[in-house]
Amino acid sequence: MTPQEAYENLLKWSREIAIIQNIIELLEWDQRCYMPPAAYLHRAEQIKFLTAEKHQRLRLEQVEEWIEQAEKIFYETDPHSPERANLREWRRWSERARKVPVKLVEEIARITSEAGTIWENAKKHNDWKSFEPYLERIFRLKMQEAEALGYIKEPYDALLDEFEPFFTAEEFDSIVGVLLPELKKLLNTVMESPENIDNSCLYRHFPVPLQEKFGRLVARKLGYNFEAGRLDVTAHPFTISPGPDDVRITTRYNEHDFSLAFFGIVHEVGHALYDQGLEKEHWGTPAGMPVSLGIHESQSRFWENIIARSHAFWKFWYPSLLQHFPILTDVSMETFWKAVNEIKPSLIRIQADELTYAFHIIIRYEIERDVLRGNLKVADLPDCWNEKMENYLGCKPSTFSEGVLQDVHWSAGLIGYFPTYLLGNIYSAQLLAKMEKDLGGSIDELVGSGLFGIILGWLRENIHRKGSCFTPKELILEVTGSAPRPENFLHYLRKRLGAVYGI
């Protein structure tokens, strides 16, 4: 076998895994959008079958040999060339898949599948006690997984690595260390400002068909390609990609809440623009795949927050908004813009504003990190959660459902996932700073003139087309000239909230 043949084998292997993954995503899309309710059990069997087919391929023994062979020809090339990046990532895939015993994988799948239903009921009935033993087992099993995967410093790193490759708890701690006191200060300033935002205009009557029409108009203008995508309705919005020319988004509507669907659509469009911007030529290989959840989230948050909550954005869109919703005629653009930027500490993460959202993530991160470090018992989670809420946001849940039971993630075994949300915010502001430098100043003028294509072009060039050729940290360094750091995010928040609150 020549190195070239070995690389060809790897390409074929990688693309087959990608095909299976795409099919799984179509099954999931259908399940959440259109599947008849009675089909539930059999759909689980279908997904289980394909997942097993995928893992069987990921664990294929020959892969290691192929990689060693193929490395011989690419050793001298640019370490961020598609080939080198592919070999690096394929090694990671293969090692991660082969290190964790099949029995443990199956046990985690079994427990999290049960825990999903238990959690749903527990949340519905405010019943922490029924979920507690499941969460304990999940943490124990994930700890075993971390041990099997291996780590340099601490178990949490092995889990975080699945979502944000090569990122460590230590690094995230140091970001939080800078961020937390500054965010607290900023929140205090906002809370003490005399500005009284009236957001009632967002809760008037917005007929669903018009919300959809306006949402599609904006999505298209931002660059989302409907020829290679769809917008459907689901209880929990998401972006999913059943193929390289098939990136679908969903949203949910409430006719008495403008923000829910609109910012949801822009958020998913941000994710979808990333997926639609990957290099087709590298489809099915790491070089044509998104690099991490954090980078993915930076794209959704860039469009949702930085762009779509900006003054310039509404300067451009407000006339069209009024045409769609004459009910807003008496609302000034200024009032509307402030309403969509209101800061208000609250109990529920997914309803939080841009500033308080960070606290919600930090709370979750600190809790899961401390459990894995052995400094916190699962039994103490509810109290710990409530204390932190009180301490960081000054409000305390009165039920478990509004507190420790609110998110689906832990029941699904997603431990080490939450940091990627905050990294998304941090990356997005860091990218904004560099984008403005490259484009010669504030992007407000572009946004205000509806020239979103230039902004998208910059993201395509600097992020989307690079796929996984760089690790997330390398990518941020390569593009912005510095490692991930929270300063730009703080600067962005101060500027935005300064304008909104006159502080």
Cα–chain center distance at 331: 33
Nearer to a second copy, 27 or 109 (CB): 27
Region binding a second copy by CB under 8 A among candidate stretches 40-48, 209-217, 294-302, 490-498: 40-48
> Does 49 help bind a second copy (rule: CB under 8 A)?
yes
Whether residue 268 lies in the annotated active site: yes
> Does 248 help bind a second copy (rule: CB under 8 A)?
yes
Strand 246-251: give its sheet, edge to edge.
Answer: 229-233, 246-251, 239-243
> Does 61 help bind a second copy (rule: CB under 8 A)?
no
> Does 437 help bind a second copy (rule: CB under 8 A)?
no
The residue within the footprint of a second copy, chosen from 3, 8, 16, 477 (CB under 8 A), is 16
> Does 233 help bind a second copy (rule: CB under 8 A)?
no
Q: How many residues bind a second copy (CB under 8 A)?
A: 36
> Does 41 help bind a second copy (rule: CB under 8 A)?
yes
Q: 229: which strand partners?
A: 247
How far apart (Å, rounded) are the C-alpha atoms in residues 105 and 107? 5
Region binding a second copy by CB under 8 A among candidate stretches 20-28, 308-316, 404-412, 424-432: 20-28
Residue 296 CB contacts under 8 Å (≥ 6 apart), including other chains:
271, 274, 290, 420, 424
> Does 244 help bind a second copy (rule: CB under 8 A)?
yes
Minimum distance from residue 39 beta carbon to a second copy (Å) = 4
How far apart (Å, rounded) are the C-alpha atoms in residues 146 and 416? 11
Catalytic residue among 164, 268, 304, 368: 268
Q: Sort 155 into a burial class: Cβ within 10 Å, 0-12 / 13-18 / 19+.
A: buried
Q: Are 145 and 452 in contact (CB under 8 A)?
A: no
Cα–chain center distance at 147: 26
> Does 12 help bind a second copy (rule: CB under 8 A)?
no
Q: What angle do CA 49, 51, 53 make, to 5 degrees?
A: 70
Nearer to a second copy, 110 or 230 (CB): 230
Query: SS in 3 state form for 224-279?
Result: CCHHHEEEEECCCCCEEEEECCEEEEEECCECCEHHHHHHHHHHHHHHHHHHHCCC
Nearer to a second copy, 225 or 259 (CB): 225
Q: Are 89 and 286 in contact (CB under 8 A)?
A: yes
> Does 106 help bind a second copy (rule: CB under 8 A)?
no
DSSP 3-state of 250: strand
Region binding a second copy by CB under 8 A among candidate stretches 70-78, 223-231, 333-341, 382-390: 223-231
Handedness of CA 104, 110, 111, 115 (dihedral sign): positive
Q: Are 415 and 139 in contact (CB under 8 A)?
A: yes
> Does 412 help bind a second copy (rule: CB under 8 A)?
no
Minimum distance from residue 78 beta carbon to a second copy (Å) = 29
> Does 220 help bind a second copy (rule: CB under 8 A)?
no
The residue within the footprint of a second copy, chosen from 110, 230, 373, 377 (CB under 8 A), is 230
Nearer to a second copy, 173 or 232 (CB): 232
Handedness of CA 72, 74, 77, 80 (dihedral sign): negative
Region binding a second copy by CB under 8 A among candidate stretches 30-38, 93-101, 450-458, 483-491: 30-38
Minimum distance from residue 93 beta carbon to a second copy (Å) = 19
The residue within the footprint of a second copy, chosen from 26, 148, 149, 477 (CB under 8 A), is 26
Region binding a second copy by CB under 8 A among candidate stretches 4-12, 45-53, 251-259, 434-442: 45-53
> Does 209 help bind a second copy (rule: CB under 8 A)?
no
> Does 379 help bind a second copy (rule: CB under 8 A)?
no
How far apart (Å, rounded) are the C-alpha atoms in residues 100 and 59? 10
How far apart (Å, rounded) are the C-alpha atoms in residues 457 and 256? 35
The residue within the footprint of a second copy, chosen from 3, 23, 199, 485 (CB under 8 A), is 23
What is the enclosing helix (H) or strand (E) of 40?
Answer: helix 40-58
DSSP 3-state of 230: strand
How far apart (Å, rounded) are the C-alpha atoms in residues 381 and 111? 20
The residues assigned a catalytic role are 268
Applying CB under 8 A, the residues found at the interface with a second copy are 16, 19-20, 22-23, 26-27, 30, 34-43, 45-46, 49-50, 53, 225-230, 232, 242-246, 248
